[in-house]
């Protein structure tokens, strides 16, 4: 009898010891530079969005409403810097990299340019028709949309920690919205249905643009410069044509003052740095993680508003910020896994938390397994 008790006691001890080791291993892997590096750069992106929001607020106060022109400044700078850089680069065969990229993918980058321009335009336009609360809530749609597109086009699978991080992030956004409602900053809506559809459309376009940017930055050798060069080539054309159609009257009544010029240049500079950093942050994390990071941009804007525009502070804003940061730590604690082909997937790998089988452990998310830009071909660059 005593021997049986000893065996049971030993089994319980080993089980508890194993659990303690797993917890220690989890926290050891959690608090690393690999985990916090994308979070840090994600917050820099959020601060840049805060800079864009602040300059836009000042432009609105000066009766200047030209969102397409504001975006055009950024796209032109992308063209001057990155399209020029790509034009002077050559591939391994000595061919001009800009011309080779246009030969292979010009229509795809043309579509992406339309998607990116419309994403910015639809979300900005939505503020004229629906409330701030609706925009903040519906804009979360970009995160599950990015996860959905990454699953099918980047061939990744998510584990339970990623879904937990997403849920925590949504809770943080809800806290922020509740704070806005309590302080009466939700705003009014003139056509809520149209505004809501514009937000959903803009969020979908953002997800497509971000996932494409992640793919190019990871799959192509010069991906960071390549996609920014293509945006700098195609987006000014799309944005310029749309601006000539929709903002012609606003531009004709435009009053150029030193303050307005400085605000436009400030907005363009923030947006240019934002676009320049985005592909790099995509490379070290993912489109979904970046979009979770950008949730704090509204909070940074509110913190600036407390001091600049005299908004009333609320403890819920701090709760929201801490909650979203916690979501980022949880989500980035484990990178998305490569999705193994069905033929090599065992029955044990059906679990969301299971590790990939040994035969697939060396599969990299950077490997070209056949996606929208290239169907199983070698690196085009």
pLDDT tens by residue, 147-166: 899 888 888 888 888 899 88
Question: What gap in Å lies between CA 330 and CA 168, rounded to an integer?
Answer: 9
What is the reported pLDDT for 157? 85
Q: What confidence tier does 204 reach under pLDDT thresholds 50, 70, 90?
A: very high
Is 368 within a domain?
no
Residue 378: inside a domain:
no
From 16-25, 95-104, 146-155, 220-229, the region with the lowest mean pLDDT:
16-25
Residue with tokens 């065992």: 346
Residue 273 lies in a domain: yes
According to the model, what pLDDT value does residue 346 have?
Answer: 42
Would you place residue 11 in the very low, low, confident or very high pLDDT band (cuts 50, 70, 90)? low
Task: Indicate the pLDDT class of residue 118, thresholds 50, 70 and 90.
Answer: very high
Would the pLDDT of 1 be above 60?
no
Do 41 and 33 touch, CB atoms closer than 8 A?
no
Mapped to the 3 state alphabet, what secondary structure does 137-176 carry?
Answer: HHHHHHHHHHHHHHHHHCCEECCHHHHHHHHHHHHHHHHH
- CA trace torsion 79, 81, 84, 85 (10° rounding): -130
If pLDDT is split at 50, 70 and 90, which confidence band does 372 have?
Answer: very low
**Per-residue pLDDT at 26:** 56
The three-state secondary structure class of 31 is: coil
- The answer to whether position 54 is within a domain reads yes
User: Which of 16-20, 199-203, 227-231 has the largest mean confidence?
Assistant: 227-231
Q: What domain count does the chain have?
A: 1
- Asked if residue 143 lies in contact with residue 169, where contact means CB atoms within 8 angstroms, the answer is yes
Model confidence band, residue 16 (pLDDT cutoffs 50, 70, 90): low
Q: What pLDDT shows up at residue 222?
A: 63
* Mean predicted lDDT score pLDDT of the chain: 77
φ and ψ at 105, to 5 degrees?
A: -130, 20
- Of 67 and 376, the structure prediction assigns the larger pLDDT to 67
Asked if residue 312 has pLDDT above 50, the reply is yes
Q: Is residue 165 part of a domain?
A: yes
Q: Are 42 and 242 in contact (CB under 8 A)?
A: no
What is the band of 58 on the pLDDT scale with cuts at 50, 70, 90? confident
Tell me, what's the pLDDT at 358? 41
Q: What is the DSSP string of 64-112?
A: ---HHHHHHHHHHHHIIIIIHHHHT-B-TTS-BHHHHHHHHHHHHHHHH
Q: What would the pLDDT profile of 119-149 be if each residue is shown by its tens digit?
A: 988 887 777 777 666 676 777 888 888 989 9
Backbone CA torsion sign across 22, 24, 29, 35: positive
Domain that holds residue 66: 32-332
Q: Is the pLDDT reported for residue 236 higher than 90?
A: yes
Answer whether residue 96 is part of any domain: yes
DSSP state, 338? E
Average pLDDT over residues 336-357: 48
SS (H, E, C) 201-270: HHHHHHHHHHHHHHHHHHHCCCHHHHHHHHHHHHHHHHHHHHHHHHCHHHHHCCCCCHHHHHHHHHHHHH
Beta bridge partner(s), residue 90: 96
Residue, of 223 and 159, whose pLDDT is higher: 159
Measured CA distances, 203 to 142, 185, 191, 231, 277 (Å): 5, 22, 18, 19, 20
In a domain, 19, yes or no: no
**CA–CA separation, 271 and 283 (whole Å):** 19
For position 209, what pLDDT does the model report?
92
- Tell me which residue has tokens 């509110």: 302
Q: Which of 105-119, 182-196, 320-334 bottoms out in mean pLDDT, i.e. has the lowest?
A: 182-196
Domain annotation covers residue 67: yes
């Amino acid at each position: 009898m005593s021997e049986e008790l000893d065996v049971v006691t030993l089994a319980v001890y080993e089980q508890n010891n194993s659990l303690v080791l797993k917890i220690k291993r989890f926290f050891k892997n959690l608090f690393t530079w690999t985990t916090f590096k994308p979070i840090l750069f994600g917050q820099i992106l959020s601060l840049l969005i805060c800079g864009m929001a602040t300059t836009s607020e000042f432009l609105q106060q000066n009766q200047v409403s030209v969102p397409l022109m504001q975006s055009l400044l950024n796209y032109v700078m992308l063209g001057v810097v990155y399209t020029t850089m790509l034009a002077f680069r050559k591939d391994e065969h000595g061919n001009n990299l800009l011309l080779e990229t246009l030969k292979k993918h010009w229509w795809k980058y043309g579509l992406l340019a339309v998607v990116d321009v419309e994403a910015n335009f639809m979300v900005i336009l939505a503020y004229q028709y629906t409330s701030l609360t609706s925009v903040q809530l519906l804009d979360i749609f970009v995160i599950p949309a990015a996860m959905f597109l990454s699953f099918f086009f980047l061939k990744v699978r998510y584990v339970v920690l990623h879904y937990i991080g997403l849920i925590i992030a949504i809770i943080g956004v809800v806290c922020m919205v509740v704070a806005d409602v309590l302080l009466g900053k939700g705003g009014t809506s003139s056509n809520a249905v149209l505004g809501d559809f514009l937000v959903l459309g803009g969020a979908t376009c953002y997800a497509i643009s971000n996932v494409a940017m992640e793919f190019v930055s990871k799959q192509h050798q010069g991906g960071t410069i390549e996609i920014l060069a293509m945006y700098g080539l195609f987006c000014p054309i799309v944005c310029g044509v749309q601006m000539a159609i929709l903002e012609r009257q606003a531009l004709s009544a435009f009053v150029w003052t030193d303050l307005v010029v400085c605000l436009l240049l400030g907005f363009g500079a923030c947006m240019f740095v934002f676009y320049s950093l985005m592909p790099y942050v995509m490379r070290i994390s993912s489109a979904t993680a970046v979009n979770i990071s950008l949730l704090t941009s509204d909070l940074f804007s509110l913190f600036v508003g407390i001091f600049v525009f005299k908004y009333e502070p609320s403890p819920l804003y701090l709760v929201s910020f801490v909650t979203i940061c916690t979501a980022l730590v949880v989500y980035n604690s484990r990178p998305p896994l490569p999705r193994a082909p069905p033929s090599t997937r065992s029955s044990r790998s059906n679990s969301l938390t299971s590790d990939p089988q040994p035969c697939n452990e060396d599969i990299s998310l950077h490997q070209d397994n056949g996606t929208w830009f290239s169907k199983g071909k070698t690196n085009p660059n």
